[in-house]
Structure 1
């Protein structure tokens, strides 16, 4: 690895080499890229569809005025026969191009291949079983049968005497056979049901996951009641909420709605505007049904959230009647199951926004242009490149693999999420209407959502309105540690604003990231300026945060929190029946059966579980935050080496602090009977599905 040099400090003998390598990495923007190339360039996402296979595989291009989206790495593949504006797909034996420096190393490849094998095997038995049924779970016992038991009772013969004989004669062999079968044909029980198999039914767990689950990025303060839509009324109608004070005032501990809002006691998960524009298309798909949901929560004196109302919205058909309905906490058996169905639809909305917006868009997709530009415009000798290098590892390859099998037409995302073929258009809508780089740093995001307020007397310069908010409290510790490191690092190389402004490589990298990589938003006024060391510190801290802690919080809990599908169904297949609907009698006579038939089918469930099991797993070669393998390249820069060591020690201290908080009985969103501690921002981890660990980069 080269020693760090700012452009004007480059030794004379290296200047031409520095410029020559950048020219090689930039390429000429022409021709088909082959695996041996090192060229980084941009393109729109015109490679997700496969129109040559039929109209059902036609998908819009992501990137452009109609569907704004960050850019991807250009491959130069030829167009399809059907549409010259769409890039042709690869066959199964080919790999999508990424520059050769981005390829996965052997340990990572092996981990993926083993995960794929297990995923295939775990779908064999369910697929054979489903062939004799109607692909619907008959009872929760069917669901439970997908998981490893590690006991003999599932394999025992019906004759008890024969069982005893087998146990005496072949106990070790039998256990080895059972373990082998379970290892490859059954799933590990996910963390969410490992301590309390029924916790997913409880309102307190439903609420807790908004603060300490796989999607803690959506909860907001309730600013208006009834909630107001920001959708264009000339397109979508008035969109008046059906929520009224009488729905919630009995759940506010004696407060009025106004008083509860003034005291910051009301919060909301609001997916109305994200989903409503797509509901007519989604609900016209086979076995796909969705609402645009709003859920109101009350902050209790114990510091926990309590759901007090769910609004389920559909597009208006008759201007004189509202299709919206409101559910409130149950009072009898019927309303209990209606409430469970309502929560399932909320979780399905939440699951989609988590995957399509917070996870894919905000980390994977929005990082790729910054990485492409870094390779094109920052020499490997540049100190900012060297700082960012471990935080760019594997991301482009992971994104390329996602285009081939996850977000493509008929891929994993479309198959398993309610929005189906409209999934990526939801991502585009969020990018064009909502995403802002200046709000992607953690403090700014918390303040934007109203769950924190600026307060310079408090640590991190803000005060959380929900004190026991595990994602936020742990995240702020890591954010501050990253910020301190970056501030020291930037200050070492850039003494003043002139140094930042005169660094051509740095300025070109940032300008290209915006104007080419994020071209659809290039004219936005909110892009941070890059004029001072403080500007640079903020930008780099945000990038490292997104690549490390933010992605970890959104990714590595997918199987632990979502591996039991009733907890977070990625899709729903039925709407909630009303009293005059034909399905209502069926619901009343068999509410559990109706609930299960609303969830993903048996085959959908096992395929979804197999995928999230793989992507929730750490590979053995993972490099975690606080660990740098390249410190020797700064051997002459004692101040930098010391800064990295301080950072590493601070990360270790943070880990111990999180451990301590997770055993504090007063922090009920972390600790309690049957509750799994919040460890998604615990910095270190072993390999496998651990529900913890913060890698340096987006590695899966």
Structure 2
């Protein structure tokens, strides 16, 4: 009798239970199959790969599908299948990447690993492919999380589809970092302490449990009040996207040459420096009129003018704390009273904290990555090459966002406790931000150009980001050319066109996102946006939070006194009473620490242990991708050796594949 040799590779397991049996069936292209075969009952945590023989009455030829079934059991123990390989009597081998949990009474059909476009399928498999997507669309349902927000999955964290839930290791890390650190360790220490700190040195108390010696945070603590450090953060801090070249001053920001002439190069006017491209601006008008969480929490919408000085440093030269100029909204400059200037900069950084958390971080990485993931599951078959390409870059994104909606950004959640924003305020900011969220704004080179930031020196976020963007685009283009031999192939790919439409729908912003793709270049750029946003952009704006927000005076999450309406009335006591209190400061520190942690078994950019592709050309493209990423890593390391403040957030060896924290 013809015999097929079957190898089943298992992986991570929640529990081992020998009484839960798995059945396997081999299927050929005509839907003929072998007998339902019981897989060895030692399919558990102790086995990484098991093998067995399946004898058939008649040679089935090429095996195109494998069906797995798990018997019903009193207790639902899930099993994880990583990979299946089948060796036919002819000696030909067939690979079946799986990487999913097998649950009771749920039949799982695993396709042979060769990636296929929809129009390349045999008729029988086309129908099955359509049924697969119909089934997924019932599981992955769109839901409005908030008015005009990007749409999210319909489901709470504990009820998410099994394939997008945290695995046991990730779940453990998440609970350790957030529940233990935020809810237990930090809050227990400051229970009952809602008073102001006495002086700046007191903020060091909540950093006692951290080893910050010789770290960037230590440098921030030492120099946070200096203008160079304030300006540097607009380029290379955790919100490096607010600064824009200023050609013409806004009408509501009446800065004159007389106000700032002492901070410009001798003999040069403000107008000349504007024309020369040496003036920059950060405008927080998005916060204007936003309601606050309480009468003791204040929020401002400042405008900050910055200047490229003789040392090529970006430094602040004028700050207005509202969008409405006048007697009660003075323009602060560096020559003002020490504490006036210090407090003005704090107000800018406090506004920056809110915009960073809600717009730069939450909206522009987390939420839009979830839209990409949802559309992928809903519109791309598991054998589609783009599904295989994107899957590592959406790992855990739906799950982390579900957790964030339930714990961080809900009414009464962590953000409302540490910032000035309540749910109504968050909604207003998000709605304003959605008006400027366009596909073009997610294309890194175009976003840099739109802000006029192509030439500013020491902008490492831009320099490293461009290298990563180009490396990802080169890799994606190579993969696209393997599967699409022409622009017509892209246009005729029904699944990719529906994927793009679904993304547009999920963005709740359809007129600013494509509804179709015409060329291979269009597709390559689109997929580069997906991968860059979920990996590099998220890394750039997330993993520096502890270093930049950990010293509370450098980045106050809220302010407890209103912005000053006159100069010369601020002292250190007023500043201490304005900064977050002890309880809020401790919760901020715990939160940004937890958000800045890598997972212990983190998968960094280009690392794909769950290999979805089986074709050699793609495997070669992945090798080339990794090689180029290693080259970028070495370039960044070499550059950093000459820097006092090293910029590492966009070093490929520190960029996780996906938004997972």
* TM-score bin (small chain): 0.7 to 0.9
Q: Which residue of 1 aligns with 2:12?
A: none
CA pair 101-596 structure 1, distance change in 2 beyond 3 A = same
Q: Which residue of 2 aligns with 1:135?
A: 195
Indicate yes or no: 2:21 matched with 1:21: no
Indicate yes or no: 2:264 matched with 1:252: yes
C-alpha separation in 2, matches of 1:323 and 1:96: 50
C-alpha separation in 1, matches of 2:133 and 2:616: 28
Q: Is contact 1:297–1:308 with CA below 8 Å preserved after alignment? A: yes
Indicate yes or no: 2:475 matched with 1:506: no
Q: Which residue of 2 aligns with 1:640?
A: 618
1:426 is displaced (CA, Å) by 3.8
C-alpha separation in 1, matches of 2:400 and 2:493: 31
Q: Which SS does the other structure have where 1:268 is aligned?
A: strand
CA pair 125-395 structure 1, distance change in 2 beyond 3 A = closer
Indicate yes or no: 2:157 matched with 1:72: no
Name which of 597, 610, 616 aligns with 2:596: 616
CA pair 124-289 structure 1, distance change in 2 beyond 3 A = closer
Indicate yes or no: 2:186 matched with 1:123: yes
Q: Is contact 1:438–1:527 with CA below 8 Å preserved after alignment? A: no
Name which of 313, 334, 337 aligns with 1:304: 313
1:537 is displaced (CA, Å) by 0.7
CA pair 189-351 structure 1, distance change in 2 beyond 3 A = farther
Higher helix proportion: 1
Name which of 532, 537, 543 aligns with 2:524: 537
C-alpha separation in 2, matches of 1:367 and 1:580: 45
Q: Is contact 1:310–1:327 with CA below 8 Å preserved after alignment? A: yes
C-alpha separation in 2, matches of 1:384 and 1:474: 26
1:575 is displaced (CA, Å) by 2.6
Q: How does 1:11-160 map to 2 (within 5 A)?
A: 11=122, 14-27=125-138, 39-45=139-145, 62-63=146-147, 68-75=148-155, 95-115=157-177, 116-128=179-191, 130=193, 135-148=195-208
Q: Is contact 1:220–1:269 with CA below 8 Å preserved after alignment? A: yes
Q: Which residue of 2 aligns with 1:458?
A: none
Indicate yes or no: 2:633 matched with 1:651: no
1:315 is displaced (CA, Å) by 5.4
Give the unaligned 5+ runs of structure 1.
28-38, 46-61, 76-89, 149-181, 229-239, 453-464, 665-670, 685-692
CA pair 435-580 structure 1, distance change in 2 beyond 3 A = closer
Q: How does 1:201-600 map to 2 (within 5 A)?
A: 201-225=225-249, 227-228=250-251, 240-254=252-266, 255-271=268-284, 273-278=285-290, 281-282=291-292, 285-313=294-322, 322-330=327-335, 335-452=337-454, 465-514=455-504, 516-519=505-508, 521-524=509-512, 527=514, 529-578=516-565, 584=569, 587=570, 591-600=571-580
CA pair 372-257 structure 1, distance change in 2 beyond 3 A = same
1:330 is displaced (CA, Å) by 2.9
C-alpha separation in 2, matches of 1:523 and 1:405: 32
1:252 is displaced (CA, Å) by 1.7
C-alpha separation in 2, matches of 1:528 and 1:220: 30
TM-score between the two structures when normalised by the length of structure 2: 0.79
Q: Is contact 1:363–1:550 with CA below 8 Å preserved after alignment? A: yes
What do the CA deviations read for 1:187-232 (whole angstroms, capped 9, x no partner)?
867944324632111111111111111111111000212x24xxxx
Q: Is contact 2:544–2:596 with CA below 8 Å preserved after alignment? A: yes
Q: Which residue of 2 aligns with 1:176?
A: none
Q: Is contact 2:388–2:613 with CA below 8 Å preserved after alignment? A: no
Q: Is contact 1:136–1:596 with CA below 8 Å preserved after alignment? A: yes
Q: Which SS does the other structure have where 1:623 is aligned?
A: coil
Q: Which SS does the other structure have where 1:145 is aligned?
A: helix
Q: Is contact 2:253–2:303 with CA below 8 Å preserved after alignment? A: no
1:122 is displaced (CA, Å) by 2.8
Give the unaligned 5+ runs of structure 2.
1-96, 98-112
C-alpha separation in 2, matches of 1:441 and 1:532: 17
Q: Is contact 2:220–2:551 with CA below 8 Å preserved after alignment? A: no
What do the CA deviations read for 1:559-614 (whole angstroms, capped 9, x no partner)?
12111111111111113445599xx3xx4xxx222212111110011112111111
C-alpha separation in 1, matches of 2:335 and 2:507: 47
Higher strand proportion: 2
Indicate yes or no: 2:649 matched with 1:680: yes
1:527 is displaced (CA, Å) by 3.3
1:147 is displaced (CA, Å) by 2.0
Q: Which SS does the other structure have where 2:254 is aligned?
A: coil
TM-score between the two structures when normalised by the length of structure 1: 0.75
Q: Which SS does the other structure have where 1:295 is aligned?
A: strand
1:522 is displaced (CA, Å) by 1.7
1:484 is displaced (CA, Å) by 0.3
C-alpha separation in 1, matches of 2:114 and 2:485: 19
1:642 is displaced (CA, Å) by 1.4
1:293 is displaced (CA, Å) by 0.8
Indicate yes or no: 2:114 matched with 1:3: yes
CA pair 652-593 structure 1, distance change in 2 beyond 3 A = same
Figure out how many residues of one structure are paired with residues of the other and give that number.
548
CA pair 343-136 structure 1, distance change in 2 beyond 3 A = same
Between structure 1 and structure 2, the one with the greater Rg is 2
CA pair 438-195 structure 1, distance change in 2 beyond 3 A = closer
Q: How does 1:653-672 map to 2 (within 5 A)?
A: 653-664=631-642, 671-672=643-644
Q: Which SS does the other structure have where 1:137 is aligned?
A: coil
Q: Is contact 2:294–2:420 with CA below 8 Å preserved after alignment? A: no
Q: Is contact 1:571–1:600 with CA below 8 Å preserved after alignment? A: yes
Q: Is contact 1:289–1:418 with CA below 8 Å preserved after alignment? A: yes
CA pair 124-404 structure 1, distance change in 2 beyond 3 A = closer
Q: Which SS does the other structure have where 1:523 is aligned?
A: helix
1:423 is displaced (CA, Å) by 3.7
CA pair 375-563 structure 1, distance change in 2 beyond 3 A = same
1:517 is displaced (CA, Å) by 0.8
Q: Is contact 1:626–1:647 with CA below 8 Å preserved after alignment? A: yes
C-alpha separation in 2, matches of 1:451 and 1:694: 23
C-alpha separation in 1, matches of 2:394 and 2:128: 23
Q: Is contact 1:96–1:401 with CA below 8 Å preserved after alignment? A: no
Q: Which SS does the other structure have where 1:366 is aligned?
A: helix
1:11 is displaced (CA, Å) by 4.4
Q: Which SS does the other structure have where 1:695 is aligned?
A: coil
CA pair 523-118 structure 1, distance change in 2 beyond 3 A = closer
Q: Which residue of 1 aligns with 2:83?
A: none
Q: Which SS does the other structure have where 1:297 is aligned?
A: strand
C-alpha separation in 2, matches of 1:322 and 1:337: 19
1:277 is displaced (CA, Å) by 2.9
